[in-house]
Structure 1
Amino acid sequence: MQYEGVLKKMQTEIGTPIQYYLIFETDFLNVNQVLNKDLKIELIKHQCLNCGNDRPIFRQGFCKSCFFDIPSAGDWIMRPELSTAHLDQEDRDLAYEKKIQLQPHIVYLANSSNVKVGVTRKSQVPTRWIDQGAHEAIEIVEVPNRYLAGITEIALKEHVADKTNWRKMLTNDVKDLNLIEWRNRLKVYIPSEAKEYYIENNIETNLEFPVLKYPEKVKSLNLDKTPIYTGLLKGIKGQYLIFDDNTVFNIRGSEGYYVGLTVS
């Protein structure tokens, strides 16, 4: 089986285990069906997810000029506390920013390698947790805009991590933790503007990933350095493909790379 197209983050479907899909322009691949099969990945070119040109990918699947120009790559994406649409203030495109920022957002705790706090749009639950490789997660607050979620995250990360150790996540060096206890402990640190949005009585969400074998230690595949790679696929976790030789490939980190895939 052969597939060709530009990489975008895998789409997911909740299940036991989670189902993963690579979506191309005229085809798609259920990646779960490739487990225990050889997968060849070959870099053909780069294709910016915005302009479509064959330019080096800078960040988030975009070439450098697009990254510093388009509204979907504004600083508030990575730093929600910089959101200003609720003040009617434009960063790059106010209509776009209102559409994204002025909708319900969730501040959550997730356990991928350790307990960490994060922010996502309500519509992205549980997708965001799946993308981070979290095996358990819980919502803390549901606020009406991105700014409130951002300042809540800033306050809470004084007391809990805000980053995932991706190597520990991929080697499954993780422990089950009581996220309800964590949520209750952190309640006191929620900013006054967001306290009314605290979620009191929810339970943890548990997620199961399709992994047949975890690597002992990981080595990351970089298509710019290794444009052709073949390996036996052993698992999918977060947005990573895990191969039998301890190689891992970050699909999301390779957005904008136009590749050929061969399954055998």
Structure 2
Amino acid sequence: MTYQGVLTKMQTEMGNPIQYYLVFEDSFLNMNQLLNKEIEINFMGYQCLNCSKKKKIFRQGFCYDCFYSSPAVGDWIMRPELSTAHLGIADRDLEFEQKVQLQPHIVYLAAASEIKVGVTRKTQVPTRWIDQGASQAIAIVEVPNRYLAGIAEVALKSHYTDKTNWRKMLQNATETFDLIKEKEKVESLIPAEARDYFYSEKNDLYELQYPVLNFPPKVASLNLDKTASFQGKLIGIKGQYLIFENGTVFNVRSSEGYVVTIDV
């Protein structure tokens, strides 16, 4: 059976294991049901997620023009400490930025390849951690806006990474960490502006199980711009990656805006 559409990041549902869905405009695939089966991915073209024009994707599913004009991909997305909506100052579109920035945000520690610190909107828990392929995660601060979360994250970056080593994550080459103990260490590191929001009594540890039959000893990333057609046996899904038997991995999220057919 053939499915065709524009790639967007896989939708997820918390479970044991996590359930993954690839959603197109007129159809969807439960990716868990394709484990241990051959699938074929064919690149057909591009469609910008913002303007819907068939223009080459530049970054994050957006064409070049939209990437540098849309408020949905302002610098404050990747660097929350640059948020200014709480001051009434616009970056690209104050109404949009107030809607996103002026809501509860979580600063967290997550174990993926190693312990990392990160920021997410409260409404994106636990989706954000699933998308990163974290095996465990714990919230450490809940603040009322993105700026406060950003300055707390910056303070913790000198002690923890803010990146996931995707190769180690997909090979399951990770250590065992005690995130509750790690959380206890960081309260004094939080800036004074955000310290009152520290979760001093709350220790809700999330444990995340992924649908992976086997972890490959080596991984190589599939790039649809270089390899327009790929066929392989799906053996796992972790983060936003499809993992194939031969060690090929496909990052669905980094391929947002690509039009594909998928034969199953």
Q: Does TM, normalized by the shorter one, top 0.5?
A: yes
After TM superposition, the score normalised by the length of structure 1 is 0.99
Q: Extract structure 1 runs of 4+ deviating beyond 6 A.
A: none
TM-score normalised over the length of structure 2: 0.99
Structure 2 partner of 1:144: 144
1:181-200 to 2 correspondence within 5 Å? Answer: 181-200=181-200
Distance 2:111 2:58 in 1: 29
1:99 maps to what in 2?
99
Give aligned pairs, total.
263
Q: Deviations over 1:102-138 (max 9, x none)?
A: 0000000000000000000000000000000000000
* SS of residue matched to 2:195: helix
Aligned-partner SS, 1:197 = coil
- Separation in structure 1 between the aligned mates of residue 186 and residue 159 of structure 2, nearest angstrom: 8
Identity of aligned residues (%): 63
How does 1:162-173 map onto structure 2 within 5 Å? 162-173=162-173
User: Which residue identity does 2:59 align to in structure 1?
Assistant: R
Task: State the partner residue of 1:29.
Answer: 29
Q: Secondary structure at the match of 2:173?
A: coil
The Cα of 1:192 is off from its aligned counterpart by: 0.1
Tell me the CA shift for residue 187 of structure 1: 1.2
RMSD: 0.6
Residue 242 of structure 1 corresponds to: 243
Structure 2: which 5+ runs fail to align? Answer: none
Question: Take 2:133 and 2:78, find their aligned partners in 1: how far apart are those partners?
Answer: 18
Tell me the equivalent position of 2:214.
Answer: 213
The corresponding residue for 2:227 is 226
2-side partners of 1:175 and 1:19: how far apart?
24
Code of the aligned partner of 2:104? P
The CA distance in 1 between the partners of 2:242 and 2:29, in whole Å, is 13
Question: Which secondary structure state, in structure 1, belongs to the residue aligned with residue 196 of structure 2?
Answer: helix
Aligned to 1:2: 2
How far the C-alpha of 1:186 sits from its partner, in A, is 1.2
> Secondary structure of 1:118's partner?
strand
CA distance in 2, matches of 1:181, 1:88: 38
Q: Match of 1:220, as an amino acid?
A: S
Amino acid at match of 2:100: I
Shift, 1:203, TM fit: 2.8
